[in-house]
Chains A and B, each alone.
Chain A
Amino acid sequence: MTHIIIQGLLLSGLYALIAVGFTMIFSVGRVLNLAYGVYIMLGGYIYFQCVQVWHLPKAVGFVMAVAAGVAFAVATYQLLVRRLENNPVAVEISTLILAVVMQALIVMIYGAASRTMWPLVNGVWRIEGVAVTYNILIATVASWFILGGLMWFVHKTHLGRAIMAVSMDRKGAMVSGIDPRRISLITWAISGGLGAIAGVFFATYTQLDPSMWVGPLIIAVAVVVIGGIGSIVGSLIVAHLIGFMETITTSLLAAELRGVFTMLLIIIVLIVTPKGLFGREEL
């Protein structure tokens, strides 16, 4: 039981961080950014390149990873999404294609084989007989801090309120002096940064792999569908729901069934409550 609670909490913190950037873009622009997993992949590989290939300090690797995530997200918005913004289906198809192209690029540079990332911090902490690596503990605590900071930013700053305003009523935001396109760009940049941070943590938790963008993307989509549009708190709760569900499934049933219940939950929520559990609009 202790094992489930600890592992569930650790995994959920990471899932929440993975999902929140995706949720923000969906809330503000009403588009599914299927290239979101690329920020996670880029974060992991750039950190790997800096720390394990160039032997730069970990902090430098971290900053470079975040910068790459932000730059890629901004470029995606400016060069692709902005030109297709009245056509959500075109955005979704083109971002999915972009993700596949980026995967091919990663295979060209690093090869198709998986690579192991060094932990951010070495060591193990034993709680009630459960071994918790400092690495995942730090990743989870950092996730919570980042998510807490994000909540503060969204609710207590002018820019954060502007992001919420655009997500709730675009015309209302415009007549308040807010430029929705600028807000969208900023949201994509934040999303890219959060995705890259999640990518560094995720890669140290699992491993680097050219297809590592798929799993987190499915988690992010699940959180948006199950949680619903417009509620960051809802997203965090659902991330924990999925995290615990996967931990329980892995511990008590079989690791192979890990994602199955998440998928089933998506279908049930779509049928029973299309707004999602905490959503404010129909998906």
Chain B
Amino acid sequence: MALLEISNLEAFYGKARSLHGVSLNIEPGKIVAIIGPNGAGKSTLLDSIMGITTTTGSVKFDGQEIRAQSPALNVKAGIGYAPERGNLFPFMGVKDNLLVGAYTSRDKIDENLRMVFDLFPVLEQRQTQETGTQSGGERQMVSLGRALMTSPKLLLVDEPTIGLAPKVCLDIAAALKKLNEETGLTIVITEQNVNFAMSLAQELHVLETGELRLSGTVDELQGEDYIKQAYFGA
């Protein structure tokens, strides 16, 4: 059974519809990438899964319908989310940001903190530094760490490499891969950086102007003419 089943999902900002009947399944234990250009609806898709936007259609997580559920209940159900801009708490230290992530998972604080610090050792050294004063890469690490503090079964990561140096992108990719391999965590990332997405994910979905255009494994989509033309300029 798929961990996440999305059927005919439509999302709205006021009267404007920004997702048009998106349907996709995410199998447990996989890394799945949603790729697409700026404005394709990638962030809206993740916000919709979390219950942040107004939607119609169906979103089932672990067999349960969660579409109309609040973000707080979705986090409690096991969905962790690292949004595109991080949405960190800029005047709190790194550790306090992580502890806010533990709001619904207080029985696993020590275990999760250890996991986050093992994954991103720089955060352990800068526990008291306010996140508003950190570099973009460190803030992305805190954002991922905060999502991991919720003890997720499914981790949603919105554009993890946006604005980051190539070396930091590699570190983030390594951390996500390690998480997936060692804990079996299911991960969904959105990306404009198709190379990054293909290096990390086993499955890709191409989202454009709010509609799914293509889906397949990395091997299947690597040979697609459309992908070559649209994303590699070939």
Contact = CB atoms under 8 A, between A and B. Distances in A.
Interface stretch (A29-37, A50-58, A99-107, A165-173): A165-173
A178 B70 contact: no
Q: Main SS of chain A's interface residues?
A: helix
A173 to B, nearest CB: 7
Contacts of A175: 50, 52, 71, 75, 81-83, 87, 147
Interface string A3-31: 00000000000000000000000000000
Interface of A: 155, 158, 161-162, 164-165, 168-169, 171-179, 182, 230, 280
Contacts of B70: 179
Contacts of A179: 70, 72
B100 interface: yes
Contacts of B96: 155, 161, 164
Contacts of A155: 96
Contacts, number: 77
Contacts of A161: 92, 96, 99-100, 103
B150 interface: yes
Contact of B100 (A162, A171, A230): A162
B92 A164 contact: yes
A176 B101 contact: yes
B83 A178 contact: no
16 contacts: A155-B96, A164-B92, A168-B92, A169-B89, A171-B83, A171-B87, A172-B88, A172-B89, A174-B50, A174-B71, A175-B82, A176-B101, A177-B72, A177-B104, A230-B91, A280-B90
A165 B89 contact: yes
10 interchain residue pairs of minimum CB distance: A172-B87, A177-B75, A177-B104, A174-B71, A168-B89, A179-B72, A175-B81, A165-B100, A171-B87, A177-B103
- Name which of B75, B101, B103 has the most chain A CB atoms within 10 A of its CB: B103
Nearest to A173: B100
A177 B83 contact: no
- Name which of B52, B72, B147 has the most chain A CB atoms within 10 A of its CB: B72
Given A165-B92, A174-B71, A158 B87 contact: no
A280 B91 contact: yes
A172 to B, nearest CB: 3
A247 B176 CA distance: 60
Contacts of B88: 169, 172
- Name which of A158, A164, A165 has the most chain B CB atoms within 10 A of its CB: A165
A6 B72 CA distance: 48
A43 B8 CA distance: 54
A158 B102 contact: yes
